[in-house]
């Protein structure tokens, strides 16, 4: 983070610090706003200020444009020690903790950073990580980074219930007459949240922040906030976190476990979108009942559904319904507990990730091995124990090496091979956990999309998804027949495959050899 500086770089977080007359906020409204204007002539950005304990107030801003920025305090409800200033923003050249900027929707069903760099989420989960003591807190960050995950889902409010063995002392608000007073945030709690998001950013990990908690079950009582109290909390947490480039907002995990009408969730989501001047990704995650992800405030669908990922051709139906990116954030977990959602073996979890990938969607990982404390990794974090993470890091390498922005089903209506990619450019076919002995060169022809032509040449890479190898077939393939629904090279011999292994094929069009 850059604090009150005269010069910074694009996508860094600028923090303006103030001393004010009031030692406590007067209510749940922002104590002031700051209008920031760049000399490039673009639209000004207005960010809310927030109280940070004692007489300290702050406002945070993520600069996405280069130039000289001036700022001015507006609508101050407390006297501040300064009200205007300026700073310079230079080109970060894609370097630093947040070098490529916030992640947003790109190419309708996919994601990219603000500078256009594609982002392919391969994330993991540690719901109660924020509330763990050291060394567990730091060990989690190190483990997630080492494993190559680029997104971590965690809760702001502490979790209660099964497999939760740690109850934190630090809670988000003061209690007044037996109730949480959301107008009195506990600065130490939220500074810890700031630090958690910042340290993930330093490791190139997106912070998927679960704002509301369906797993309180009355233990802490934070699930009993009114709609008005939720709004006060959302204003405060967005003011604190929105300037971090690596933030994703998730309104709630398993929202339908809370007995609230759909209209209340709609209003909370719309408020979240309205509050955030930096336009971060926004979602809400289901238990049994699917949320109406057609709502304008939802940027992408975040789903719990294991069965949608057990076979190819299922998960992509969600894309057709909502026309947005789909992240299967809970597809069951690799683990050893006697519950159906937490007993997958690693091969099955990796298989479900690849099915999700060729459906044009994304998935999240989690581990449910019982830890020494009696908890689970997907609750408390810590070191990873399973065999899946290495294979998912390999999947991420494959995705990051693509020549196309993302994978989309080529012929989503009737392709028995469920091939995804970008027509006439690049294709991925997943052959499942047990590959045949041979593969005959065949590509689907879809609508819309560029139609392949006879003579088009391709190279084929055979990907062993479990043993993590990529082998280039030592010959090229050229299309001999292009029919209405498929294209083939009938002149070439079939490709020999590692029979019985979990295999995918990467088919890439190349310029004809001279």
Domain containing 440 — which CATH number?
2.60.40.3950
371 and 468 fall within a common domain: no
In a domain, 375, yes or no: yes
Which residues, in sequence order, are CB contacts of 432 under 8 Å at separation 6+?
312, 351, 502, 503
CA distances from 124 to 252, 392, 396, 495 (A): 16, 10, 13, 35
CB 465 within 8 A of CB 394: yes
Residue 323 falls within a domain, yes or no? yes
Final residue before a domain boundary, out of 400, 419, 452: 400
Take residue 218 and report the two structure tokens written for it. Answer: 């009355």
Q: What is the full DSSP assignment across 457-495?
A: EEEEEEEETTTTEEEE-SS-EE--EE-SSEEE--SSPPE
For residue 272, tell me if it sits in a domain.
Answer: no
Does residue 373 sit within a domain? yes
User: Does residue 414 share a domain with residue 328?
Assistant: no
pLDDT of residue 3: 47
- Please say whether the beta carbons of 459 and 446 come within 8 A: no
In this structure, the answer to whether residues 456 and 423 fall within a common structural domain is yes
Same domain, residue pair 392 and 421:
no
Q: Which of 128, 125, 137 is nearest to 157 (CA)?
A: 128
**460 and 377: one domain?**
no
Same domain, 377 and 486: no
Residue 109 within any structural domain of the chain:
no
Any idea what the CATH number is for the domain that residue 182 is in? 3.20.20.80
Q: Are residues 396 and 419 in the same domain?
A: no
Q: Of 470, 502, 473, nearest to 489 (Cα)?
A: 473
Rg of the chain over Cα atoms, rounded to whole angstroms, equals 25
Please tell me the predicted confidence (pLDDT) of residue 24: 73
Instruction: Indicate the residue among 52, 71, 90 that finishes a domain.
Output: 90
Helix, strand or coil for residue 388?
helix
CA distance 148 to 305: 24
Looking at the structure, tell me whether residues 158 and 188 fall in a common domain.
yes
What pLDDT, on a 0 to 100 scale, did the predictor assign at position 98?
60
In the chain, which residues have pLDDT < 50?
Answer: 1-4, 97
Range of the domain at 82: 2-90
Q: At what angle do helices 388-400 and 136-147 cross, to 10 degrees?
A: 50
Strand intervals (E) in 281-333: 282-283, 301-304, 326-330
Q: Are residues 389 and 326 in the same domain?
A: yes
The predicted pLDDT at position 32 comes to: 95
Q: Are residues 123 and 214 in the same domain?
A: yes
Residue 27, pLDDT score: 76
d(CA 363, CA 357): 8
Q: Does a structural domain hold residue 113?
A: no
Q: How many domains does the chain have?
A: 3
Give the Cα separation of 149 and 58 in Å (integer). Answer: 32
> In what helix (H) or strand (E) does residue 233 lie, and over which residues does it extend?
helix 227-241
For the segment 145-161, what is each residue's pLDDT rounded down to a tens digit?
Answer: 999 999 999 999 999 98
Please give the full DSSP string across 327-359, using - where no structure is assigned: EEEES--EE-SSSGGG-B-HHHHHHHHHHHHHT
Between strands 206-213 and 247-253, the pairing is parallel
Q: Of 400, 423, 457, which marks where a domain is finished?
A: 400
For residue 5, the model assigns a pLDDT of: 56
Q: Are 36 and 70 in contact (CB under 8 A)?
A: yes
**Residue 403: helix, strand or coil by DSSP?**
coil
382 shares its domain with 250: yes
The pLDDT of residue 412: 86
Same domain, 365 and 414: no
If one counts every other C-beta atom within 10 angstroms of the C-beta of residue 513, the result is: 7
Using one digit for the tens of pLDDT, what is the confidence trace for 432-482?
Answer: 999 999 999 999 998 878 999 999 999 999 999 999 999 999 999 999 999
The pair of three-digit structure tokens given for residue 128, joined into one six-digit string: 């109660």
């Amino acid at each position: 983070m850059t604090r009150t500086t005269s010069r910074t770089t694009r996508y860094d977080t600028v923090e303006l610090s103030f001393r004010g007359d009031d030692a406590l906020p007067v209510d749940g409204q922002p104590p002031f706003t700051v209008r920031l204007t760049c000399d490039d002539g673009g639209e000004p950005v207005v960010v809310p200020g927030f109280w940070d304990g004692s007489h300290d107030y702050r406002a945070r801003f993520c600069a996405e444009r280069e130039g000289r920025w001036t700022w001015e305090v507006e609508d101050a409800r407390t006297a501040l020690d300064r009200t205007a200033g300026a700073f310079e923003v230079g080109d970060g050249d894609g370097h630093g903790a947040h070098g490529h900027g916030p992640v947003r929707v790109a190419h309708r069903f996919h994601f990219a950073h603000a500078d256009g760099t594609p982002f392919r989420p391969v994330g993991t989960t540690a719901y109660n990580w924020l509330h763990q003591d050291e060394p567990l807190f730091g060990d989690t960050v190190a483990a997630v980074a080492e494993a190559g995950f680029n997104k971590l889902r965690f809760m702001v409010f502490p979790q209660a219930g099964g497999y939760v063995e740690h109850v934190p002392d630090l809670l988000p608000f003061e209690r007044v007459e037996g109730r949480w007073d959301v107008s009195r945030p506990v600065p130490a709690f939220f500074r810890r949240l700031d630090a958690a998001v910042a340290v993930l950013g330093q490791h190139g990990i997106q912070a998927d922040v679960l704002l509301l908690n369906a797993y309180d079950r009355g233990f802490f009582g934070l699930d009993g906030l009114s709609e008005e109290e939720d709004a006060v909390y959302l204003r405060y947490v967005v003011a604190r976190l929105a300037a971090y480039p690596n933030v994703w907002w998730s309104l709630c995990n398993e929202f339908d476990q809370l007995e609230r009408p759909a209209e209340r969730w709609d209003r909370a989501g719309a408020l979240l979108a309205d509050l955030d001047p930096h336009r971060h990704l926004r979602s809400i995650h289901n238990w049994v009942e699917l949320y109406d992800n057609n709502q304008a405030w939802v940027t992408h669908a975040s789903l719990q559904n294991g069965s949608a990922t057990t076979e190819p051709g299922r998960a992509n139906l969600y894309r057709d319904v909502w026309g947005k990116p789909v992240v299967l954030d809970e597809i069951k977990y690799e683990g050893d507990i006697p519950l159906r959602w937490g007993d997958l073996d690693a091969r099955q979890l990796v298989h479900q990730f690849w099915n999700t990938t060729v459906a044009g969607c994304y998935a999240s990982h989690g581990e449910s091995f019982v830890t020494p404390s009696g908890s689970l990794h997907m609750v408390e974090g810590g070191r990873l124990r399973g065999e899946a993470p290495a294979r998912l890091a390999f999947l991420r390498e494959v995705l990051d090496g693509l020549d196309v922005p993302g994978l989309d089903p080529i012929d989503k209506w009737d392709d028995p091979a469920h091939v995804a990619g970008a027509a006439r450019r690049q294709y991925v076919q997943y052959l499942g956990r047990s590959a045949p002995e041979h593969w005959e060169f065949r590509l689907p022809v879809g609508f819309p999309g560029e139609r392949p032509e006879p003579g088009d040449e391709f190279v084929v890479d055979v990907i062993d998804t479990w043993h993590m190898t990529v082998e280039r077939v030592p010959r090229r393939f050229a299309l001999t027949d292009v029919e209405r629904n498929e294209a083939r090279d009938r002149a070439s011999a079939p490709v020999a495959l590692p029979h019985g292994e979990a295999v995918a094929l990467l088919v890439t069009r190349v310029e004809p050899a001279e």
